[in-house]
Amino acid sequence: MTEPGDKQADFDGGEALSPYSKDYWDLVFEQLGRRKLFKLAISILALIYASAIYAPLLGNDRPYVLEAIDYKAYGQAQRTLYPVALSVGRLVRQGPEGYEADKSEGAEQDWEGALQAEVDAAENRIETLRSYLGPADTELLDSFQEKLEASVAAAGAGKSDEATALSKEAKEIAKEIRTELAAVDPENPEAGGHELVPQKSYPLFETITSSEVFFMVLWAFVLLWPLWNGFWNRALLRGDRDRIRKARRPKLVLVVGTSLAASLLWGQLVGGEMVFEVSPLKRGLTTNEVVATRAVFPPFSYGFAETSSGETFRAPTWTAESEIDEEGYYVRGARVPEPDPITGYKPPGAPVEVRYSEPPRNSPWRHPMGTDSVGRDLLVRMLWGGRVSLSVGLVSAVLLVFIGTVIGALAGYFRGWVDILLSRLIEIVLCFPAFFLILMVVAFIDPNTIPPIIAIVIVIACVRWTGVARLARGEFLRLREQEFTLAARATGVPALRTIFRHVLPNAIGPILVAGAFSVASGILTESALSFLGFGVKHPIPSWGSLVTESRSAEHWWIQFFPGFAIFVTVVCYNLVGDAIRDAVDPKMKVQ
């Protein structure tokens, strides 16, 4: 038999001491830790959220890192330097007065501005040329730059003759550049030319914003939680439960602080901006205008807006019905084209374009979830679409729990006319079918004045807070009469402080449960709204709107996969809610 006070290793690396030194949250976490379903659900949710947070890193048409020679850009820079030099020359020759006279109606720039613009253009091209040519061939470039700058300086100082002369020289050099500095044609290497040096760039990371970085770092901490938390508890704190409890706040600070710092750092160093257009890089790589020595693409190298005309409504490529031959015809199934019985005419097929970095035409990994009406890959769209659905669910739940708790707490604690007023308010809002009301309001929001996603979150929160309010009110009514509240009031603790520091931590159990279920219902509502067409607008995908791409029974994958994703997420949240409900049950057994 074990004596009281025996130490046993606990689920998170800490050790269980005698029952009397556990606080409320220790008990709750312990109960939760025992339930396998809860752990499973939380893990699945963590992965789903990870797929949404890391979506840009998973499904993107830009590579992480690219070492390549952009022949097209080089060629353009090389050839168009001369026209720029010409413009500079003209401006310099005209001088400010001549420019004003010559200016077209409505042109806003003045002479200096125009000159500066041309100089900037020249600088850009020189940059490009420099970076590709490497240190060896920079003579021409250097002299060009020298002459140009001198010319501009002279023109600025009013010495127009000198400036004109200098600019002429610059023009000559530019001509030379045009002829001499041609690059090696990769398909015809013997024809001669300069060897270009591949440039290293990180196109994908340039599209990631600092707020995305915040969540990515934060989520890395969350995903690795068992590891670093267990390590911290075991190694650093040696399993001392009291120290573990005190370490809760530092851990939180570490996680949030690091994420914040990383995000700010990113903003300073990289300052990425989200892009919605398809990247020209992939196209360039496919047509060999850009030749890469090293290109690392994400696992699913499609953009969420990247279309493919040969693969519209293509079934998941691991099914038999999805096979397409070289000419773009389906091999089996309902879509095999039949030649017209009379004329024998067979409509031309649309060949499938397998772009750079994509899996082969009939590889099962090519489009694991099929494509939509314009050939966009569904998996990538689901990754990105998850961001909308998941964040709307979570944020609206947080908001509505906040509103509901505050109102319910005030009603339950103060009672009297405050309670009567707030209860009437709750009843009035409850008179509506919630979804109906949400639908009404969302339908009338002008997408130009407020982004629909924010509107949806606010509307859901403003309609659904009543459930939590009732719960909170009930809890506060009950707890108000308990001794610890009376003690707090008797010792003169001001009302608001009593509510938030004393009563609320005890009431929070059922509220958390309601919160978990609210996320599930928020996700369901958002997807239903999107399904009906009132959610986020194009081109941003959302799980609900993905389903509406086709109602035809032939295109089962469009209807199945997004709905399945919603289903799994909702199941997990319901499991979490159930688990929390059991864990905070006042009939908890203390052994």
Partner 1 sequence: MSERNGGMKRGEVLLEVTDLRTHFRGEEGVAKAVDGVSFKLLSGETLGVVGESGCGKSVTAMSIMQLVPQPPGFIAGGSIRFAGRDLLSMSIDEFRRIRGNEIAMIFQEPMTALNPVYRVGEQIAEAVRLHQGLDREASRARAIEMLDLVKIPSPEKRVDDYPHQMSGGMRQRVMIAMAMSCGPSLLIADEPTTALDVTVQAQILDLIRGLQQETGMSVLLITHDLGVVAEVSDHVAVMYAGKVVEYAAVADLFAQPRHPYTIGLLKSLPDLAAPGERLHTIPGTVPSAFHFPSGCRFRTRCPLASAECAEREPPLDELPDVGGHSVACHHLKEAEAL
Partner 2 sequence: MFGYILRRLLWMIPTMFGITILVFTAIRLAPGDPATVMIGISSGGEMKGDVGYEERIEKFRHENGLDRPIWIQYLGFLGPFNIKPDGHPWFGGSGADPWGGLLVLDLGHEFQRKTMPIIEELGRRLQVTIPLSLISTLLIYLFALPMGIYSAVRQGTKLDAAMTVILFILYSVPTFWAGLMLILAFGASGLHWLPVLGLHSKDAADLATWPYIWDTIVHSILPIATLTYGGLAYLSRQMRVGMIEVIRSDYIRTARAKGLSEKVVVMKHALRNSLIPVITLFASILPILIGGSVIVEQVFDVPGMGRYAFEGLIARDYGIIMATTTFSAFMTLVGILLSDIAYAMVDPRIKYD
CA 579, 580, 586, 591: dihedral to nearest 10 degrees? 60
451 to each of 210, 381, 540, how far by Cα in Å? 20, 20, 11
> Site for partner 2 (CB under 8 A): which residue of 205, 221, 228, 560?
560
Q: Which entry of partner 1, partner 2, none binds 3, CB below 5 to 8 A by partner kind? A: partner 1
**Residue 86 identity (one-letter amino acid):** L
Q: Binding residue for partner 1 (CB under 8 A) from 4, 341, 416, 586?
A: 4
Q: Which is nearer to partner 1, 38 or 111 (CB)?
A: 38
Give the nearer residue to partner 1 in terms of CB position, either 3 or 108. 3
Using the rule CB under 8 A, which residue among 3, 108, 338, 481 binds partner 1?
A: 3
What residue 567 binds from partner 2, partner 1, none (CB within 5 to 8 A, per partner kind)?
Answer: partner 2
Rounded Cα distance, 63 and 43, in Å: 29
CA distance 305 to 228: 38
**Among residue numbers 192 through 211, which ones bind partner 1 (CB under 8 A)?**
none
428 is in the binding site of which of partner 1, partner 2, none (Cβ under 5 to 8 A by kind)? Answer: partner 2
Contacts 24+ apart (CB under 8 A), 251-255: 255/218, 255/221, 255/222
Residue 65 pairs in a beta bridge with 296
Query: Angle CA(65)–CA(69)–CA(70) in degrees, nearest 5?
Result: 100
Footprint on residues 449-508 left by partner 2 (CB under 8 A):
449-450, 455
Q: Which stretch binds partner 1 (CB under 8 A): 1-9, 95-103, 111-119, 539-547?
A: 1-9
Identity of the residue numbered 493: V
Q: Sign of torsion, CA 582 584 587 591?
A: positive
Q: How far apart are CA 568 and CA 140, in angstroms?
A: 63
Among 222, 439, 477, 493, binds partner 2 (CB under 8 A): 439
Nearer to partner 2 among residue 136 and residue 553 (C-beta): 553
Site map (CB under 8 A) of partner 1, residues 24-53, x = contact:
----------x-------------------
Q: Which amino acid, residue 450? A: I
With CB under 5 to 8 Å by kind, the binding choice for 34 among partner 1, partner 2, none is: partner 1
Residue 589 interacting with partner 1 (CB under 8 A): yes
C-alpha to C-alpha distance for 311 and 355, rounded to whole angstroms: 13
Partner touching 589 among partner 2, partner 1, none, CB below 5 to 8 Å by kind = partner 1
Beta bridge partners of residue 266, listed in sequence order: none
Give me the DSSP letters along 216-245. Answer: HHHHHHHHTHHHHHHHIIIIITTT-HHHHH
Taking each helix axis from N to C end, the angle separating 504-532 and 434-443, rounded to the nearest 10 degrees, works out to: 60
Q: Decide whether 223 or 445 has the Cβ nearer to partner 2.
A: 445
Exposure of 194 in the CB half-sphere (CA atoms within 13 A)? 25
Query: How far is CA 492 from each of CA 158, 201, 410, rounded to the nearest angstrom?
Result: 82, 64, 18
Per partner kind, with CB cut-offs from 5 to 8 A, the member of partner 1, partner 2, none near residue 441 is: partner 2
Q: Closest approach of Cβ 510 to partner 1, in Å?
A: 22
Of 291-299, 354-362, 391-399, 529-537, the window that binds partner 2 (rule: CB under 8 A) is 529-537
CB 396 within 8 A of CB 573: no
Q: Which of residues 561-590 bind partner 2 (CB under 8 A)?
A: 563-564, 566-567, 570-571, 574
Task: Give me the residue label for tokens 């019985």.
Answer: 341
Cα–Cα distance for residue pair 135/139, rounded to 1 Å? 9
Q: Quick check: helix, strand or coil at residue 434?
A: helix
Nearer to partner 2, 418 or 437 (CB): 437
The one segment of 169-177, 181-189, 468-476, 527-535 that binds partner 2 by CB under 8 A: 527-535
Site membership for partner 1, residue 591 (CB under 8 A) = yes
Q: Which range in 2-10, 85-93, 106-114, 457-465 contacts partner 1 by CB under 8 A?
A: 2-10
- Binding residues for partner 1, per CB under 8 A? 1-4, 34, 589, 591
- Binding residues for partner 2, per CB under 8 A? 428, 431-437, 439-441, 443-450, 455, 520, 524, 527-528, 531-534, 544, 547, 551, 553-554, 556, 559-560, 563-564, 566-567, 570-571, 574
